[in-house]
A and B are shown apart, each in its own frame.
Chain A
Amino acid sequence: MNADASGDLARVAAGLRQEIRSKVDGLRRQLTDELKRLDRTVERRARETAARLDAVDARLDTLAADQAVLRQHVERRLRDVAQRTGRLEGEIQQIEGLLRHQQGHVPVDLDGVPADLRVLVDDVRAAERIRAGLLDDDARAARRRDIERCEQDEHTLAETRQRALSASRALAVRTAGGWAFRRAVLAYRSERSRMSELEAQLAAAREKRAQAEQELRHDAAQQQAFRAHPGADAADRLAGRVRDRIDDAVAEYHLFPPWFVTVLGHRPAPTRAAQWREAAVQVVLYRITFEVTDRLLALGPPPSGGHRLVRYDAVQAALRGLEE
């Protein structure tokens, strides 16, 4: 191959390279333009979609608010209807009671104690009187704390006395006026003063401990007496008898006394008859045990404290359970 042919080939190659490069550049520009156009389209569509989602969110919020308002409205209406139903039920019961009263029906006597139950009730009342004298858990814990505090004070006093004794020993054996002697003077002065304070404190604590121990002993004896008393078991038997009487009264459509009706109504609701009966048994047992004779208040006035208050609260809780 001569030099001219080589030069021609080189020129052709350069021309081809130039052409390819220009075509690649053109394609690159075309692709870039296309990509930019696609990017703009995607961006526009994303904005549109976001706007639509915002609109959907706003609609959902509106719907939720409307639903909450509607729910409140429905609940209000339901409460209203429940109140009206309760009033109507009460009025029906009152009319029923009046009618029965006019027909000569006498309310069933749940307070009275039949002769066959007299011994049982006396046992229960006696057991309850013993239980009324028992300390409650808080009182027992307080007495135990008194005893522990006294023991702790005794321990502290013993330690302080021991330190004072050590200082006294140093005073007895160290050279008078020396450094160790003067330190012992300071130590003894401080410990002796603390000892006097603790002794006074301990005297009061011992009195409280003696009283607490006496009360705990008495309480233990009372607990023993309560456990041994036949009345503790008799309460269950009496509850069974009261339950039978209430069942009979409901089955026979007897008229219940006013104190019973005010808290339990004339008849149990079908859905919670068992709960109603247990609450009724508790109310009647409370009245019999504590000899409550109030004609309107089922449990009489609230007691001031002691185990009777615990029983009172338990019965009230059972009655509240019926309203829920």
Chain B
Amino acid sequence: MGATRDRLLARQAELRVRHDALGGLGAEPPHDPALLAQVFAGTDELMTVVEELAAATARRRVVVALALLGVAAAGAVLVAFGVLPAYWLLAVLALLVTAVLLWLTTRAAPSRAGP
């Protein structure tokens, strides 16, 4: 995770350099086609790292959602056997809702970006 973030920052710095080479951050068209291609290539590389980070985040979210589901199931079983009082069901329900929301927002995230 840390390595990927370092790569992201490195790509970002590299992209900034390419933008500077294109004519500064306030550059106006028409641009040099070769420099422009370098900028877009650099941005695509940056986007690849961003997607990797997004994929890792999505994986973590799925793991957390599954863990929450497991805890909720265990809580429900404990309430069913009378180990925990009935009002613990509210906490179980809250965990369930959180897990489902986490799962749904993870599924909604794009799996891949870029051309």
Chain A residues within CB distance 8 Å of chain B: 158, 161-162, 164-165, 167-169, 171-173, 176, 185, 188-189, 192-193, 195-196
Contacts and interface: CB of A to CB of B under 8 A. Distances in A.
27 contacts: A158-B29, A161-B36, A162-B29, A164-B40, A164-B43, A168-B15, A168-B19, A168-B39, A168-B40, A168-B42, A168-B43, A169-B19, A171-B12, A171-B15, A171-B43, A172-B12, A172-B15, A172-B25, A172-B46, A176-B12, A185-B113, A189-B47, A189-B110, A189-B113, A192-B43, A192-B44, A193-B114
Given A165-B36, A172-B25, A185-B47, 11 more contacts: A168-B19, A168-B39, A171-B43, A173-B16, A176-B8, A185-B113, A189-B47, A189-B114, A192-B43, A193-B115, A195-B115
A182 to B, nearest CB: 9
Contacts of A172: 12, 15-16, 18-19, 25, 43, 46
Given A173-B25, A176-B5, A188 B12 contact: no
Nearest to B31: A165
Contacts of A176: 5, 8-9, 12
Q: Which secondary structure characterizes the binding site on chain A? A: helix
A169 B42 CA distance: 11
A164 B19 CA distance: 13
A172 B29 CA distance: 18
Contacts of B36: 161, 165
Contacts of B78: none
Nearest to A185: B50
Of B29, B40, B43, B113, most buried by chain A (CB within 10 Å of CB) is: B43
